[in-house]
Amino acid sequence: MGVTEEAGKKIGVLTFLHNQNYGSSLQAYALQRVIRELGYPCEHIDYLPSGKEKWINLLSSGNDWKLLAEGIRKRLVRRNHEGARQKSRAIPAFYDRSMKLSPRCRDRKDLKRQSAEYDVLIAGSDQIWNPVWLNPAYFLRFAPEGIRKVAYAPSLGVRTLPGEAKARKIRAWVSDFSAISVREEEGAVLMEKITGFRPTVMPDPVLLLSREEWTGVAASISQGAPYLLCYFIGENAGYWDAVRKLQDERHLRAVVLPVTQESFQQGLPLLDGAGPEEFLGAVREAEMICTDSFHCLAFSRIFGKECRIIRRDREEDPNSKNSRIDSFERIWDQEGPQALREKGREWLREQLKA
């Protein structure tokens, strides 16, 4: 990633880095790569909140205690499966090889101290603004006055308004941003209802790189015979019924990129311990993909693969994240990959130049 120092400004980016998610790591990589290609020194702020920081945020942001159970579930998967532990090492190793990260920040004091290193702070992308797990850090509340704050395509994840208390927080927390874009049209509608201002919609950072550029990042997984790639972030017995039906219809063997306890227990071949490059290779080399994941769908489209989406949430669930999928399919069909790349890069160029 070539950088020219003539731009002068140093850019700091904050997003999810430590949630053990391939899509999160790859969208972070893509955004940093594009900013550096635009000529700006850039690094991601390595925010890994301490246990105390997580408790403070849970209590102060009014988040659901069920988030604790979700964290415990993920830790149990890592404890029970060596492949999950390998994956938890593979993602930071990818950052070491492919990105620049700041010193580790464990709380808001660390974030405030680190933010003094930058001329511009960017929040995004991924579901960092989802009201289900609201955190003021991802709204850059730690930043001292005078630092330009930009939001590049954060996702709110949902299509219904949060409670009034959370809406008030979001309204206050975005008031000092110089520029805001969001990832989904549904998020733009929500932000207009909350703030009175309708932000522009920008593509997820993974769409800012071409198929050829992602091919250069992907690692071959050498599976030989054609396969159906299965990658599920949620847990639902119906997922596996759908997989077996597709196997019968397409005469494909299923290969699983495991995330959940359920995915380890299906008796199917596993791509265990894969890192982000192997995830890309698995999508690129698959005959067909079956997933509930936004980013797996995005990479399926980038690599021109047939993808069967299984919706993770009930449509009537107010916290349903299905709108992310609908929005992605809509903009991909309406605008196409090249136009999306150009639009996102141009928006970033203008905001960083300002």
Convert the pLDDT of each residue in 330-344 to its tens digit.
999 999 999 999 999
Q: Which of 57-66, 138-147, 267-276 bottoms out in mean pLDDT, i.e. has the lowest?
A: 57-66
DSSP string for residues in 77-90: HHHH-HHHHHHHHH
pLDDT (average), residues 286-293: 96
pLDDT (average), residues 303-323: 72
* Same domain as 231, residue 199: no
Asked whether the predicted pLDDT for residue 3 surpasses 60, the reply is no
For position 52, what pLDDT does the model report? 94
Query: Is the Cβ–Cβ distance between 250 and 228 less than 8 Å?
Result: yes
* Same domain as 143, residue 51: yes
For position 223, what pLDDT does the model report? 75
Rounded to whole angstroms, the Cα distance separating 257 from 269 reads 9
Q: What is the pLDDT confidence band of residue 313, given thresholds at 50, 70 and 90?
A: low
CA 340 to chain centre: 17
pLDDT (average), residues 211-225: 92
Q: Can you read off the two tokens belonging to residue 166?
A: 């959370």
pLDDT (average), residues 290-315: 89
* Same domain as 319, residue 270: yes
* Same domain as 227, residue 302: yes
Residue-wise pLDDT for 78-129, tens only, equals 999 999 999 999 999 999 999 999 999 999 999 999 999 999 999 999 999 9
Q: What is the DSSP letter of 144?
A: P
Asked whether the predicted pLDDT for residue 68 surpasses 60, the reply is yes
Contacts of the segment 192-198: beta carbons below 8 A, 24+ positions apart: 193/161, 194/161, 194/167, 194/170, 195/170, 195/171
For position 65, what pLDDT does the model report? 80
Strand 227-231's sheet: what is its strand order?
Answer: 253-256, 227-231, 288-291, 306-309
* Same domain as 53, residue 31: yes
Q: What is the pLDDT confidence band of residue 321, given thresholds at 50, 70 and 90?
A: low
Q: 37 in helix, strand or coil?
A: helix
Amino acid in the structure at residue 122: I
Asked whether the predicted pLDDT for residue 12 surpasses 70, the reply is yes
Angle, CA of 239, 269 and 231, to the nearest 5° = 40
Asked whether the predicted pLDDT for residue 7 surpasses 80, the reply is no
**Residue 100 burial (CB < 10 Å; 0-12/13-18/19+)?**
middle
* Percentage above 70 pLDDT, the chain: 95
Residue-wise pLDDT for 154-175, tens only, equals 999 888 888 899 999 999 999 9
* Same domain as 201, residue 256: no
For position 224, what pLDDT does the model report? 80
Residue-wise pLDDT for 237-288, tens only, equals 889 999 999 999 999 999 999 999 999 999 999 999 999 999 999 999 999 9
Residue-wise pLDDT for 171-190, tens only, equals 999 999 999 999 999 999 99
Residue-wise pLDDT for 34-46, tens only, equals 999 999 999 999 9
Q: 314 versus 236: which is more confidently predicted?
A: 236
Where do runs of H (alpha helix) occur along the chain?
A: 22-37, 51-61, 66-80, 82-98, 108-115, 164-173, 185-195, 211-217, 237-250, 261-264, 276-285, 294-302, 322-335, 337-353
* Same domain as 191, residue 291: no
Q: What is the pLDDT confidence band of residue 6, given thresholds at 50, 70 and 90?
A: very low
Rounded to whole angstroms, the Cα distance separating 258 from 270 reads 7
For position 1, what pLDDT does the model report? 44
* Same domain as 291, residue 193: no
* Same domain as 197, residue 141: yes
pLDDT (average), residues 289-313: 93
* Same domain as 173, residue 39: yes
Asked whether the predicted pLDDT for residue 210 surpasses 60, the reply is yes
Query: Is the Cβ–Cβ distance between 126 and 324 less than 8 Å?
Result: no
Rounded to whole angstroms, the Cα distance separating 219 from 276 reads 9
Query: Is the Cβ–Cβ distance between 294 and 23 less than 8 Å?
Result: yes
Q: What is the pLDDT confidence band of residue 71, given thresholds at 50, 70 and 90?
A: confident
pLDDT (average), residues 20-38: 98
* Same domain as 195, residue 125: yes
Query: Is the Cβ–Cβ distance between 188 and 330 less than 8 Å?
Result: no
Q: What is the pLDDT confidence band of residue 222, given thresholds at 50, 70 and 90?
A: confident
Q: How many domains does the chain have?
A: 2
For position 316, what pLDDT does the model report? 47
Average pLDDT, the chain: 93
User: Residue 130 belongs to a domain with what CATH number?
Assistant: 3.40.50.2000
Q: Is the peptide bond before 125 cis (omega within 30 degrees of 0)?
A: yes
- Boundaries of domain holding 36: 5-210+337-353
* Same domain as 246, residue 192: no
